[in-house]
A and B are shown apart, each in its own frame.
Chain A
């Protein structure tokens, strides 16, 4: 059996003042779209940064395809965290070509890849337009194309539907479903519960830097379930420090 695409155990990074991630366990299996949901500042981006090496954990481990992060095969990873990887002075095609090359793709193969992803995400019109002239939504599409074009086995996307129009949201959803069907493990963060429910196989709820539960993507009222979880966690925090924090301190 192949290992999980992503496996985090006890992942902790404390920024002080209650900000950070605390003891996070998480798995993304091959073929799975796993959504992280949480309010703003809940710790979704911090967790993704920890998984991708943008932050070093205070404690805990990350395995990517069963390998420790230091020995990860990064050519098999695609990510978009916060800012789309697009240089304003370069046009869409050049930006994508450079992103493919940095993922270790050879020059002739990169050209084919770029052509294919421009079609897949309907970016053909903007192939020759400098990124600085693109709308926010099209820049986001370009960033997603850079993350997905090399058909990575591990996909990490932070709020990927940010600034996307409804057509872009559908294109992204289809692109993720295709890649998951081909065996990729996909981790997406979002605060759009409806959107996440349509595409995710598994939904994990994050609050105050901790995993506080899961939602059933096929549940009837996941919004209510989400707020019930968050509210209960906030109540616990207001009553006093939870058990795990006491132990850590």
Chain B
């Protein structure tokens, strides 16, 4: 892998990503979905829906900016993992389902280089989505409260942005299973499994901060309960499974 071949691979993957309906529609659905769900559930909880209020916790009941941001964080932690997982699964597994993987052999740009380029493009895409999501929630907040965010709300928006980026790090195992399983289904199944496990741990609380899949969500919803070290541990998931994915692409054979 050289700087030149990586630059070529990133340019190629970026061109494919820009033309992709999957990545564009997932970005829009997640951003608008989080804002609409947060606005609707905050309004419902504030209007006296006790069951909903019990689920969402005291902050949502408060309504206004704090309520909106608290609900947006909860929805982002779950829906974000699913949406980012779908995007990442597609980035890798589509080469197998579309049959284009044969064209990625016998090239001067090696397969691990292409796999790394996909991860870089994924990272850029998730940052764009995170910014878009935060912006849409901010505009929604102004629209429903009629107020600009106060200083604490800005902190909340910043936390939402960070949560979205950290959540994007969690489904990277799907890139690996999509490669090992040579298709979209194993990747999507992995995403759903990660989501289920993360949600169970978040709901269970306790020592969930030490569990990388749950730490970002717990940090966003209950900031005091998760330490910076625990948050940093989240990085082990994308780094570990990113390396495994690169290795799988290096050793790849079309033997099944």
Contacts and interface: CB of A to CB of B under 8 A. Distances in A.
Given A54-B254, A56-B253, A103-B108, A89 B100 contact: no
Interface residues of A, number: 34
Contact of A98 (B5, B12, B21, B99): B12
Contacts of B108: 73-75, 102-104
A85 interface: yes
A49 interface: yes
Contact of B102 (A15, A73, A82): A82
B228 to A, nearest CB: 41
Contacts of A54: 102, 105-106, 253-254
B105 A52 contact: yes
A19 B118 CA distance: 34
Interface in B1-53: 5, 8-9, 11-12, 15-16, 19-21
Contacts of B116: none
Contacts of B11: 101
B103 interface: yes
B109 interface: yes
Contact of B8 (A77, A79, A94, A102): A102
Given A101-B11, A102-B109, A87 B98 contact: yes
Specify which of B8, B11, B102, B109 lies most central, judged by the most chain A CB atoms within 10 Å of its CB: B102
Given A83-B102, A103-B108, A146-B103, A98 B15 contact: yes
A90 B102 CA distance: 18
B203 interface: no
A54 B182 CA distance: 14
Given A15-B255, A55-B255, A83-B100, A90 B19 contact: yes
A46 B21 CA distance: 34
A77 B98 contact: no
A83 B254 contact: no
A73 B108 CA distance: 7
B100 A87 contact: yes
A82 B96 CA distance: 12
A83 B12 contact: no
A79 B106 contact: yes
B27 to A, nearest CB: 15
A86 interface: yes
Contacts of A80: 103
A29 to B, nearest CB: 20
A135 B102 CA distance: 20
Contact of B254 (A55, A74, A104): A55
A103 B107 CA distance: 6
Given A89-B21, A90-B15, A102-B12, A83 B106 contact: no
B100 to A, nearest CB: 6
A205 to B, nearest CB: 24
Contacts of A101: 8, 11-12
A36 B9 CA distance: 33
Contact of B106 (A52, A90, A143): A52
A90 B100 CA distance: 13
A88 interface: yes
A110 to B, nearest CB: 10
A186 B18 CA distance: 36
Interface in A55-86: 55-56, 72-75, 77, 79-86
A81 B255 CA distance: 14
A37 B102 CA distance: 21
Nearest to A78: B106
Given A54-B253, A72-B106, A104-B8, 5 more contacts: A74-B106, A79-B106, A90-B16, A104-B108, A104-B109
Task: List the 10 closest pairs (A to B, CB-CB), nearest first.
Answer: A85-B103, A83-B99, A104-B108, A52-B106, A89-B19, A54-B254, A75-B108, A74-B108, A81-B102, A98-B12
6 contacts: A54-B105, A74-B107, A83-B102, A103-B108, A104-B8, A143-B103
